[in-house]
């Protein structure tokens, strides 16, 4: 029996992971679950899966859960508890699905403990890629990407990377792919969160609408596959059927295709190097609309441009844009700034932040905090 610690259990990745676990009850056991504040959903999950530990990052939510829970599940709270369950001796696999910078420390704890990390938290690499990858290497951890694009590349490279010339991430283009640039001024949070293909949380849905999500994935790909920015390409593919491609020097291109359902890549991360039933139906190309591909518009989706620029700048720049983006998206969802202001807040924060080469986790956290403070001040100019 494989013990899984699921960080971010009440989110969309968490729910999809549990759906796969349900199909294989004799193979996988839920050892620990975590959530932020949604103790009501966590209570239901604890009743169903009877984990050894349940961690709420919010102390009040942990207390509420503790007062209601029955059975032997131990309720813990706080960031330290997340690190402990990720590195626990009885944990085999860690699904790292906490959204944003909040998920970085626990993902790193899993790496330092030599676990199989099923990485859905791209910020772990965006903020601390060098530190994270070194921890994976030093502790013989397994790092399996769970983003559909990175999983696709990972799968395409199973035959080897000899002659590899570039990788190409696909992007759906989000809800505003065909929306004129001038019309983006009036877009609402509800419109930005209405993704045409994927069911996701509000923050990542906005990131998809700005294409910052793809920009962060470019940075993630740099660390996962050890490639410079000029060997990483992005193509807009609205149907989300081709998940990514790899290009070789002999003119060959390998792509991974499938229905847009995260259970496919989650099940692959859980079963690698084998494959198991995921619950996702097989792709039937005869029943799909024609597949389209477009070059991304960097003027319209300037967040993607900023991500490439931050990667080329290196050092703290990548953490800076991530922090600024989290502040900007939160401000947009809260009605403080317009949709088109998100990129402007990120760009101005990057201009004002001091550029460093963080070599420790504390330095990464310090840069993150400083960038958030700068972005918060920048937001006030637009509010």
Going by the annotation, the residues of the binding site for NADPH are 10-13, 38, 121, 123, 201
Q: Residue 287: count other Cβ atoms within 10 Å of its Cβ.
A: 6
Annotated binding-site members for Mn(2+) = 147, 149, 217
Q: Which positions ≥6 away from 299 have C-beta within 8 Å?
A: 181
Positive or negative: CA dihedral 16, 322, 145, 281: positive
Q: Give the C-alpha separation, 68 to 38, whole Å.
A: 13
- Tell me the CA distances in angstroms from 113 to 6, 72, 92, 357, 362, one per residue in order: 16, 25, 10, 25, 19
Annotated binding-site members = 10-13, 38, 121-123, 147-149, 172, 195, 201, 208, 213-214, 217
Of 76, 91, 97, 10, the closest CA to residue 45 belongs to 10
The SS3 assignment for 55 reads strand
The SS3 assignment for 278 reads coil
Of 203, 206, 207, the closest CA to residue 216 belongs to 207
Q: Give the C-alpha separation, 63 to 86, whole Å.
A: 21
For residues 59 and 35, the answer to whether their CB atoms sit within 8 Å is no
For residues 49 and 33, the answer to whether their CB atoms sit within 8 Å is yes
Burial 167-198 (b: 16+ CB within 10 A, else e): bbbbbbbbbbbeeeeeebeebebeebbebebb
The SS3 assignment for 78 reads coil
For residues 291 and 237, the answer to whether their CB atoms sit within 8 Å is yes
Annotated binding-site members for 1-deoxy-D-xylulose 5-phosphate = 122, 148-149, 172, 195, 208, 213-214, 217
Q: Give the C-alpha separation, 50 to 67, whole Å.
A: 16
To which H or E segment does residue 253 belong?
Answer: strand 253-257
């Amino acid at each position: 029996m494989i013990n899984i610690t699921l960080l971010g259990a009440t989110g969309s990745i968490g729910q999809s992971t549990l759906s796969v676990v349900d199909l294989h009850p004799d193979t996988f056991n839920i050892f620990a679950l975590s959530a932020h504040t949604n103790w009501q959903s966590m209570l239901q999950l604890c009743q169903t899966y009877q984990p050894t530990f349940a961690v709420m990052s919010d102390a009040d939510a942990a207390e509420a859960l503790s007062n209601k829970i029955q059975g032997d599940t131990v309720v813990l709270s706080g960031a330290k508890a997340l690190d402990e369950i990720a590195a626990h001796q009885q944990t085999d696999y860690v699904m790292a699905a906490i959204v944003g910078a909040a998920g970085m420390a626990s993902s790193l704890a899993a790496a330092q403990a030599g676990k199989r990390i099923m990485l859905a938290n791209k910020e772990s690499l965006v903020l601390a890629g060098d530190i994270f990858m070194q921890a994976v290497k030093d502790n013989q951890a397994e790092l399996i990407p769970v983003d559909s694009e990175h999983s696709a590349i990972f799968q395409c490279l199973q035959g080897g990377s000899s002659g590899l010339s570039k990788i190409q991430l696909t992007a759906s283009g989000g809800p505003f792919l065909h929306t004129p640039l001038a019309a983006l001024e009036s877009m609402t949070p509800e419109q930005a969160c209405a993704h045409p293909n994927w069911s996701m949380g509000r923050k990542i849905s906005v990131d998809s609408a700005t294409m910052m999500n793809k920009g962060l994935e470019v940075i993630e790909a740099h660390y996962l596959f050890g490639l410079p920015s000029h060997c990483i390409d992005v193509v807009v593919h609205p149907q989300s059927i081709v998940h990514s491609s790899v290009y070789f020097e002999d003119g060959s291109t390998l792509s991974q295709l499938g229905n847009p359902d995260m259970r496919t890549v989650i099940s692959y991360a859980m079963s690698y190097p084998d494959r198991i039933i995921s619950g996702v139906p097989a792709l039937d190309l005869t029943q799909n609309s024609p597949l389209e591909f477009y070059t991304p518009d960097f003027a319209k989706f300037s967040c993607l441009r900023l991500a490439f620029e931050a990667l080329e700048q290196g050092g703290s720049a990548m953490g800076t844009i991530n922090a600024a983006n989290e502040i900007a998206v939160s401000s947009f969802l809260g009605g403080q700034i317009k949709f088109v202001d998100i990129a402007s807040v990120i760009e101005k924060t990057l201009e004002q932040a001091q550029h460093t080469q963080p070599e420790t986790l504390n330095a990464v956290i310090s840069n993150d905090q400083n960038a958030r403070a700068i972005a918060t001040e920048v937001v006030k100019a637009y509010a």
